[in-house]
Amino acid sequence: MAWRRRCGHRTIVGCRITLTKPTTMLPKLTPLPDPTSAHAELNPAPRLLMGPGPINADPRVLKAMSTQLLGQFDPQFRRMMRETMALYRAFFETQNDWTLVLDGTARAAIEMVMLSAIEPGQKVLVCSFGRFGQLLNEIALRCGAEVRVLQAPWGTVFDLAQIEAAIKDFSPRLVAVCQGDTSTTMLQPLAGLGEICHRHGALLQVDATASCGGTPLPVDAWQIDAVTAGLQKCLAGPSGAGPITLSDAMARCIYARRHIEEGLQPADYKPGAGKRIASNYMDMAMIMDYWSDAGLNHHTEATTMLYGARECARIFVQEGLPQVYARHAAASTAVVAGVQAMNLQVYGDVANKMPNVTGVVIPDGINGEKVRGALLNHFNIEIGTSFGPLAGKVWRIGAMGYNARPDAVMQTLGALDVVLAAEGHHFARGAGVDAAYAVYQSASA
Ligand SMILES: Cc1ncc(COP(=O)(O)O)c(C=O)c1O
């Protein structure tokens, strides 16, 4: 409410501010432990992580990550960065120059590419078949894009003709899709999609966080313009680094928006013709400058994460991509055979299932969370639940990266056998482990 007051020959005008109680409720946080007490040394119970990721890291990765730090411009470290680029080119089966590793989790990598490629108002077609397709939509909207979502029912994937029809109708600048959507365990076939996108003037961005390393993703052969990933699934590392590869067309599209921050601009600096990227941290053009020969400063490189990312790719390349894919396929066949033999139903379109994760329909009358709790508390085994419409209806059992091993698969099925029997599920005891064992025996015969 406004007020006026005479003060000598002057009139003072003001307004009364009524302080109302803030309406925004902050999230609940229970009181923290006493900071002055010496907390116990870290010593968690050893878990076997057989969910949709993260999974147990390969001990080689943990060892690499305990290497002493180097300065990010130390020639030794710059050499490691270049080795990492070369290793990920092999991992992604690409000749792409711009194949590097971002400091950040997989969603940071998705967001960095999209925010750097797409100017506000440009069109993005999101092909969504689960919760992570919805994440692509969410990120595209935050980029200010005009977004259209092509939705497939959960538990299914797209026919490429459906995607092509939507591209023809919408004329997007970018098509974004997951290769594997961990929430539904479905794997979208991608061969041919890059060619379709290019024929209609669109670029193709693929989120391969959950699938790459477990199933082929020949980036050049499939003409994909941007692939982003994380370490915590088939790459057998911790989350926190995002491998990225960009086609030449995508790299040029992004670099056309290059705007170097003020304190770093060289004398001959000319900004790119495109609109400045809205985030400093998520500016892929500046990251390219940092990884380039120019080595322009950006954030302080997370050297420990780079050591880990380098070792993840080194393990893969050493084992050999076909061998790694075969190991994941065998684990998938064994898990499927095992759960089916236990009178459980595999979720969704099994022909298009990701090899590294299996959705299992929770039988009627069985409390899914109770089973997960018993596996964790009595067997130290973690399996996953699911999200949204599948929450409480589907378990997700992962066998990937370091854990795509016969012993890990059979240990999980054996523990599930005990817990399900205790919960009153009807099945032939021991049949699950036997079926998985038979799969591995026939593979090695
Ligand atoms: C398919 C997919 N995309 C993106 C993400 C997000 O990854 P992050 O949690 O590393 O940011 C996940 C994580 O599980 C995923 O499964």
Q: Can you give the CATH number for the domain in which 187 is found? A: 3.40.640.10
Is the residue at 44 inside a domain? no
Cis peptide before 54 (omega within 30 of 0): yes
293, 317, 341: which is the final residue of a domain? Answer: 317
Does residue 169 share a domain with residue 149? yes
| C-beta neighbour count of 65 within 10 angstroms | 20
What integer is the mean pLDDT of 317-336? 98
Does residue 238 share a domain with residue 376? no
Is the residue at 173 inside a domain? yes
Does residue 331 share a domain with residue 280? no
Rounded to two decimals, the pTM is 0.94
> Which of 49, 107, 112, 228 for mutating ligand 1's site (highest number of atoms within 8 Å of CB)?
107
Does residue 409 share a domain with residue 357? yes
Residue 273, domain extent? 59-317
Instruction: Please check whether residue 302 is in contact with residue 240, taking contact to mean a CB–CB distance below 8 angstroms.
Output: yes
Band (88; pLDDT cuts 50, 70, 90): very high
106 C-alpha to ligand 1 centroid (Å): 5
14 C-alpha to ligand 1 centroid (Å): 53
Instruction: Please check whether residue 91 is in contact with residue 318, taking contact to mean a CB–CB distance below 8 angstroms.
Output: no
295, 317, 339: which is the final residue of a domain? Answer: 317
Is the residue at 127 inside a domain? yes
Task: Please give all residues whose beta carbon lies within 6 A of any atom in ligand 1, as ranges.
Answer: 53, 105-107, 132, 178, 181-182, 207, 209-210, 230, 239
Is the residue at 27 inside a domain? no
Q: Which atom of ligand 1 is nearest to the CA of 53?
A: 14
280, 302, 317: which is the final residue of a domain? Answer: 317
pLDDT over threshold 60, residue 1: no
326 C-alpha to ligand 1 centroid (Å): 23
Q: Which atom of ligand 1 is nearest to the CA of 110?
A: 4
Query: Burial level of 112, CB count in 10 A (0-12/13-18/19+)?
Result: buried
Instruction: Please check whether residue 260 is in contact with residue 286, taking contact to mean a CB–CB distance below 8 angstroms.
Output: yes
- Give the count of domains, the chain: 2
124 C-alpha to ligand 1 centroid (Å): 20
Is the residue at 413 inside a domain? yes
Q: Which tens digits make up the pLDDT trace of 345-373?
A: 999 999 999 999 999 999 999 999 999 99
Does residue 267 share a domain with residue 191? yes
Percent of all residues in the chain with a pLDDT value above 90, rounded to a whole number: 91
What integer is the mean pLDDT of 201-223? 98
**pLDDT in the model for residue 14:** 66
Q: Which atom of ligand 1 is nearest to the CA of 230?
A: 10
Is the residue at 4 inside a domain? no
Instruction: Please check whether residue 261 is in contact with residue 269, taking contact to mean a CB–CB distance below 8 angstroms.
Output: no
Atom 7, ligand 1: which residue's CA is nearest?
Answer: 106
Q: Which tens digits make up the pLDDT trace of 379-392?
A: 999 999 998 999 99
CATH number for the domain spanning 328: value is: 3.90.1150.10
